[in-house]
Amino acid sequence: MIAAASEKLNAVNVRELTRSQHAHWSQARDFIRMANDALRVRNYVYAEQLATKANQVANLLTRS
């Protein structure tokens, strides 16, 4: 799920985002970073929660 969210965010043209959308994009990036950190310490439940949040935000941005 982390990879899927990351791919979706990479597909977004950041220069075309509004300030609000850019803030959401940055937040999703932070969720992905935090999910990867959680995986490193084997906190799989938290990593999944963060990846889900990142994926939800990425879905919203790719629909706009």
pLDDT digits (tens, 9 = 90+) for 47-61: 999 999 999 999 999
Q: How confident is the model at residue 6 (pLDDT cuts 50, 70, 90)?
A: very high
Q: For the chain, what is the total number of helices (H) and then of strands (E)?
A: 3, 0
The residue extents of the domains of the chain are: 2-10+18-63
Q: How confident is the model at residue 10 (pLDDT cuts 50, 70, 90)?
A: very high
Alpha carbons 55 and 59: distance in angstroms, whole number: 6
Alpha carbons 36 and 23: distance in angstroms, whole number: 20
CB-count burial class (<10 Å; 0-12, 13-18, 19+) for 47? buried
Is the pLDDT confidence value at 64 over 80?
no
Residue 58's nearest CA partner among 15, 21, 33 is 21
- pLDDT tens for residues 37-46? 999 999 999 9
